[in-house]
A and B are shown apart, each in its own frame.
Chain A
Amino acid sequence: DIVMTQSPDSLAVSLGERAAINCKSSQSVLYSPNKKNYLAWYQQKPGQPPSLLISWASTRESGVPDRFIGSGSGTDFTLTISSLQAEDVAVYYCHQYYSPPLTFGGGTKVEIK
């Protein structure tokens, strides 16, 4: 199984400041034939289901603000919120869909400082 490890578990950032969440996979999720990383980021607000923010490590879903930036390749990935807004308070999960069993990181709780 591919283990997804996120850090930190939580972080508090001032409004307008940058937040960065790291995600490391226990093996590469880069599929060489198509050069795509099978890595997604989800946002989950309290009492709501997860919502897909980024797929293929760096492709923002339609309607996702451009302050959400996904980067990385292979085994190391980062979700950056370039300027934190109040509505970004949530838990963020990384997720590999490279091979079953599909797995998620443990989540990172983002709060306002």
Chain B
Amino acid sequence: QVHLVQSGSELKKPGASVKVSCKASGYTFTDNGMSWVRQAPGQGLEWVGYISTNTGNPTYAQGFTGRFVFSLDTSINTAYLQITSLTPEDTAIYYCARIAVAGDLADHWGPGTPVTVSS
């Protein structure tokens, strides 16, 4: 069965960087893209963007360009989200979610990685 395992919670100071990992199993990694979704404390869901695991081509939502970078290591079936120049407004849970073959639908989600930015 599809399983997404994310790295553990992070506590960072403003200005630092963080790299969140998402390791997939139970399917062929390069058959499905990977989305990233942010959820600020007590708030709703916000799409950060997605990456094609086949080509490595990323698509970022407006507001997530520049400081947010997706990457892959297909040898270990892992997707990454790196965020640089962190601010307290980046404090959130970051989810990876597998994209279904048909459409850009996120059909399986990781458990989320809480990132806290505080001085």
A and B interact physically: yes
Interface check B81, CB cutoff 8 A: no
Interface check A102, CB cutoff 8 A: yes
Q: How far is the CB of A47 from chain B (nearest CB, A)?
A: 9
Task: Tell me the dominant secondary structure on chain A's binding face.
Answer: loop
Which of A68-76, A81-89, A103-111 lies on the face that meets chain B? A103-111
Rounded to whole angstroms, the CA-CA distance of A42 and B105 in the bound complex is 11
Q: Which of A52, A55, A102, A106 contacts B44 (CB 8 A)?
A: A106
Which of A10-18, A20-28, A93-101 lies on the face that meets chain B? A93-101
Known contacts A97-B104, A100-B61: does B47 contact A49 (CB below 8 Å)?
Answer: no
* Chain A residues closer than 8 Å to B112, beta-carbon distance: 49
* Chain B residues closer than 8 Å to A95, beta-carbon distance: 45, 106
Give the interface size bracket for B toward A: 20 to 34
Q: Which of B46, B61, B109, B110 contacts A51 (CB 8 A)?
A: B109
B44 touches A104 (CB 8 A): yes
Q: How far is the CB of A55 from chain B (nearest CB, A)?
A: 6
Q: How far is the CB of A3 from chain B (nearest CB, A)?
A: 13
B103 touches A38 (CB 8 A): yes
Sample of 21 A–B contacts (CB below 8 Å): A36-B103, A42-B45, A49-B95, A49-B109, A50-B95, A50-B106, A51-B109, A52-B105, A52-B107, A52-B108, A97-B106, A100-B49, A100-B59, A101-B49, A101-B61, A103-B47, A104-B44, A104-B45, A104-B46, A107-B44, A107-B45
Besides A50-B106, A103-B47, 8 other A-B contacts (C-beta < 8 A): A44-B45, A50-B37, A52-B106, A95-B45, A95-B106, A97-B104, A100-B61, A107-B44
The interface of chain A, by Cβ under 8 A from chain B, is 1, 36, 38, 40, 42, 44, 48-52, 55, 61, 93, 95, 97, 100-107
